Structures are given as structure tokens and as C-alpha cells.
Amino acid sequence: MPVKVSMDRNAVKMRIRAASEKAVAELSKQVLADCNEFCPEDHGILINSSEIHSNFKKGLLVWSTPYARYLYYGILMIDPVTRSPYAHKGARKILTNMELQYHGGKSPCKLWCEKAREMYNEDWRLIYQNAFKKHMR
């Protein structure tokens, strides 16, 4: 007895895409929280900027302050004219060979996302996997 199976491939693709987008959003929120565990914190502005400017649906995490890049890479940058870390408006700072010293926050360090990935990569994989399964039901 022959059996005929038909499937709406577009509907399947849309369902997979929707589940994946929701899983990415859930994972992104956790990744941000884990990264911010290692983010330097003084007044909380850097961490707050990441919560405001990140796009969880797209999996895009953004720390949006004028000094975010400076702190992320952890190398002292100075004004080439004054040789000071404080620069006049429009000055293009140059790198030195001095690493920044971090204080404040839970465990502040440079390259905080890489540090979080070292610690939580397997957890993140499971979070995505479980969220995807949940949204496919």
C-alpha cells in the first residue's frame, strides 16, 4: 500500500528560523551576563551601555562608551603630543606597551568576552540547544 507524504518546506524553514532566532536571543542575554562578570566596573556605565545597545535577537553584543575599546584591549593609549592618557578632543591616541590595571567589578580583566567564553562555552552551547528544542515544539 503506497503512502504519500507531503511537506510544506517553506513552513518548516520558517519554523526552524523562528526557533533559532528565539534561541539566539535567549543565549545572547546569558552571554552578556557572563561577559559582564569580567567587565571592568566603576560606576556601571560600561555594563549599562551593553544592556542598552546590544541586539539580543541578532546575537549582537555591544559595549557602547567612548572608552569601551580602550578597556577591552587593556593597553594604555596616550595622546602623542601630551603623552597623557587624557587627550584633547579629536586627538588620535597611540598605543603604549603598558597594560591597564583593573579594579572594581567581580573579576575584571581585558578581553572579557574571551574570558567568559573560556569559562562558559559549553554552558552556552547547551543553553542554545535547549532553547532551540523548546521553541521547535
pLDDT of residue 48: 97
**Beta strands at 94-99 and 75-78: parallel, antiparallel or unpaired:** antiparallel
Q: Flag whether 112 is in a domain.
A: yes
- Which residue range is the domain that position 118 belongs to? 12-136
Residue 31 domain-assigned (yes or no): yes
As a whole number of angstroms, the distance between CA 102 and CA 116 comes to 16
Q: Is residue 24 part of a domain?
A: yes
pLDDT of residue 118: 97
Q: Tell me what the mean pLDDT of segment 19-32 comes to.
A: 98
Q: Is 40 contained in some domain? A: yes
* Residue 50 forms part of a structural domain: yes
Q: Calculate mean pLDDT across residues 7-30.
A: 96
In a domain, 5, yes or no: no
Q: d(Cα 89, Cα 6) in Å, to the nearest integer? A: 65
Q: Within a domain: residue 3?
A: no
- pLDDT band for 14, please (50, 70, 90 cuts): very high
User: Do 65 and 85 form a contact (C-beta atoms < 8 A)?
Assistant: no
Say what the pLDDT of residue 68 is.
93
What's the pLDDT score for residue 93? 87
* pLDDT value of position 113: 97
Q: Evaluate whether residue 7 is within a structural domain.
A: no
- Supply φ then ψ for residue 33, to 5 degrees: -60, -40
89/36 Cα distance (integer angstroms): 29
Q: Cell numbers of 89, please?
A: 578632543
How many domains does the structure of the chain reveal? 1
Q: 112 by DSSP, 3-state: which? A: helix
Write the pLDDT tens digit of every residue in 56-113. Answer: 999 999 999 988 988 999 999 999 989 998 888 888 888 899 999 998 777 999 999 9
